[in-house]
Structure 1
Amino acid sequence: MTPPAKPRVLVLFGGRSSEHAVSCVTAAGVLEAIDRDKYDVVPVGIAKNGQWSLVSSDPAQWSLRSAVLPEVPVSPEPVVLATASDGGAAQELVATGAEQMPRSLGAVDVVLPLLHGPFGEDGTLQGLLEMADVRYVGAGVLASAVGMDKHYMKVVFASAGLSVGPYEVLTDRQWTRDRSACLERAARLGYPVFVKPARAGSSMGISRATSPAELEAAVEHAREFDPKVIVEAGIVGREIEVAVLQGRGTDEPRTSLPGEIAVQPGEHEWYDFEAKYVDGSAAELSCPADLPPYVTDRVRELAARAFDALGTEGLSRVDFFYTPAGELIINEINTMPGFTPISMYPQMWAKSGLTYTELIDELIGLALERKTGLR
């Protein structure tokens, strides 16, 4: 008898956002760990101009092992997702070179979108995949969009009864019309404050401001990444994170043991991009975090509530502050968290009994299990 065909997994990475290189590094980890005896893996990169193309499946090409950040090149033979020619449920990749007839590159059963930031993690790609009627790993359109926007994320969390820290939102129109009023509103939060692009991740564009001059410069820096900026009051507390994994069928979300990041004394005052991805000795993960048992139970419960509040699917990492007064304040949710082998999300699941390869397998299984369209 002919053995059943392996599910064909399109590993999609790169993208148009400032987190392009982070996405490539994530893909390197996945390409190295995914079970190729179980899945037919098709690596597709998205160049910074938005073009899709088949790329090398060699993890070393997309890693941070060299001094140059990895980048998906523009290809003379782009590819697109199209309805399968045989009318089946799977979609197919089609090569569309300028000087040749379109040709099929085979069907795709599920997409593993390893993109971070705008045009990948914010609902835009998810909408495209929904339109193409193809299954994919991770959150849907609305959850992705809300999870990417730190402003609306906080609105949803507050409405779900989760504690949210003080913040101010500075839109492009407000900043252009009356910069002084914006700075005055933000300064009322008290120093220090953290100034962030509202719709970016991986610590891109984030600054810590301790004075009016630093605040204005921090807003201008954040606006290089997003015209919408959020200013958050500095919160004294430990940074506790929980990895969440969707339950099978109608089961409740699963939560990892909580982890805690401690930035080592030295060049990094906080957990910035360099500490996350470049300086391997800058931060240390403790998992399980040293917390009283009732706090461990509570933070896992709140992480699952945040996951459900956004209607998230697949995976998320939920970040909290644990204050000296014993309060758990939610900071944010990441619907496509850093996913390299040394990233917080896989590490917390490894400490909770699920290996990196098993985690990838479970995420693909969840995606294959769920239907496309409204659900």
Structure 2
Amino acid sequence: MSSDNLPQSAGQPFRKPRVAVVFGGRSSEHGISVVTAGAVLRAIDRTKYEVLPIGITQDGRWALTADEPERMAISARRTPSVDDLAESGEGDVMLSVDPSNREVVYAEPGSVPKALGEVDVVFPVLHGPYGEDGTLQGLLELSGVPYVGSGVLASAVGQDKEYMKRVFTSFGLKVGPYLVIRPREWEREESAARERIVGFAAEHGWPLFVKPARAGSSIGITKVDDLSGLDEAVAEARRHDPKILVEAALRGREIECGVLEFEDGPRASVPAEIPPPQEHAYYDFEAKYIDSTPGVVPAPLTGEETAEVQRLAVAAFEAVSCEGLVRADFFLTGSGEFVINEINTMPGFTPISMYPLMWEKSGVSYPELVDRLIQAALSRATGLR
């Protein structure tokens, strides 16, 4: 549906669709979400859309923020926060859960709530829990507001690395060896859980990667070279999520591929390769966002390899019942086999993020990418997804 053809109430003049860009959030990826929002705000065509930036603070308050993308960038190796941008320290933004009322209201203590107008679509650029995991998507379903990206189930599966891998396996996609340690197991039977990890290492070898099961942006991940570093790695992962994932190291090239939903279905971008970072043990948060380790786009693959990773990326998108967009991450092993590591249902949209770079090399510019996602959300009916 073109924005020029959006239905208008009888007797009302035409108005541009209003896009609420919602960002920040309670997860450890708060700062990266703010950076992503800045890039999206810069890219939205203001002649075509009205924009309402809404930031969620790290304690969960919805705040009206300044529409100043230049303040939403990494500076002096520090990511920005919603508190830096909030126009008031006390007011709250509220979205109605009445599907017949898309009015957004701003309320300050002791004052009459102020109507900010209706919202036609939400562009949620939150990463991690309380935003990318189906929780915000559920709220938007209750509110009857269209939104960019996957629905409740796909978002939840895409956030939980254990169940993501289970779905992939059920659809015949190859995943690497992994082990899950659930919260009660570590809390009640720590010694037995540690022995399970040691046994896993004996079978698959060191190093291991210990990570939060429901986090992203490489936050909370530790590469463990031997038993001496295990407890510290588990503690770091559990700082971000009580459920942890232990993965065997896969020897191979890191390949990423973007998926974008078009009118005729999902398509894959040209793939990218993430070369081993020079100053880091692996592609961690610092390498990814602070030092901006560059990827190679397009990846130097054969035609057959490119076609295969594109096929697998779309297959992963379909397996999880995703919508809108996905970044799929793979390892290309020495035997020539692609092993899927994970998908991201709301991948990073920062200026250096691989997802927009892959689509730019595929002929879709950043502003076109943002516009396509908004238009897809506007044309998609809300309901069970």
**TM-score, normalised relative to structure 2:** 0.92
- Number of the residue aligned with 1:106: 117
Once the two structures are TM-superposed, the CA of residue 268 in structure 1 deviates from its matched residue by 0.5
Which whole-Å CA distance do the structure 2 matches of 1:327 and 1:185 have between them?
A: 28
Spell out, residue by residue over 1:283-306, the C-alpha distance to the aligned partner (whole angstroms, 9 max, x if none): 221122111111110110010010
Matched, 1:41 2:32: no
Matched AA of 1:100: S
Matches within 5 A, 1:161-310: 161-187=172-198, 188-189=200-201, 190-248=205-263, 251-265=264-278, 267-280=279-292, 283-310=293-320
- CA gap 1:102/1:152 in 2 versus in 1, 3 angstroms: same
Corresponding position of 1:77? 91
- SS for the counterpart of 2:309 is helix
How far residue 58 of structure 1 moved from its aligned partner, in angstroms, is 0.5
Post-superposition CA distance 1:96-124 (Å, at most 9, x none)? 21111222110000000000000000000
Partner of 2:162: 151
Note if contact 1:263-1:284 (Cα within 8 Å) is conserved in structure 2: no
Q: Compare 199-208 and 210-219 and name the one that shifted more.
A: 210-219
State the AA in 2 paired with 1:343: S
Q: Specify every segment of 5 or more residues in structure 1 that has no aligned partner in the other structure, as ranges.
A: none
Task: Name segments (4+ residues, structure 1) moved above 6 Å.
Answer: none
Instruction: Note if 1:121 corresponds to 2:136.
Output: no
Match of residue 3 from structure 2: none
Runs of at least 5 residues in structure 2 that lack an aligned partner in the other structure: 1-10
| 2-structure distance, mates of 1:319, 1:83 | 35
Match in the other structure for 2:28: 18
Percent identical residues: 55
Please tell me whether the aligned partners of residues 16 and 47 of structure 1 are also in contact (alpha carbons under 8 angstroms).
Answer: yes
Select between 46-55 and 89-98 the one with higher mean Cα deviation.
Answer: 89-98
Q: Could you tell me how far 1:264 is from its partner in structure 2? A: 3.4
Taking structure 1 as the reference length, the TM-score comes to 0.95
- Alignment: residue pair count: 367
Deviation at 1:210, TM superposition (A): 1.0
1:14–1:24 Cα contact (<8 Å) kept = yes
Cα shift readout 1:306-348 (whole Å, capped 9, x = no counterpart): 0000100111100000000011100000000111121000000
**3-state DSSP of counterpart to 2:294:** strand
* Paired residues of 2:77 and 2:290 also in contact (CA < 8 A): no
Give the distance between the partners of 1:67 and 1:303, measured in 2 at CA.
32
Determine the C-alpha separation between the residues in 2 that align with 1:178 and 1:358. 52
Q: 1:83 to 1:209 in 2, by over 3 A?
A: closer
Structure 1 residues 290, 77: CA separation in 2 closer, same or farther (over 3 Å shift)? same
- Aligned mates of 1:127, 1:80 — CA distance in 2: 15
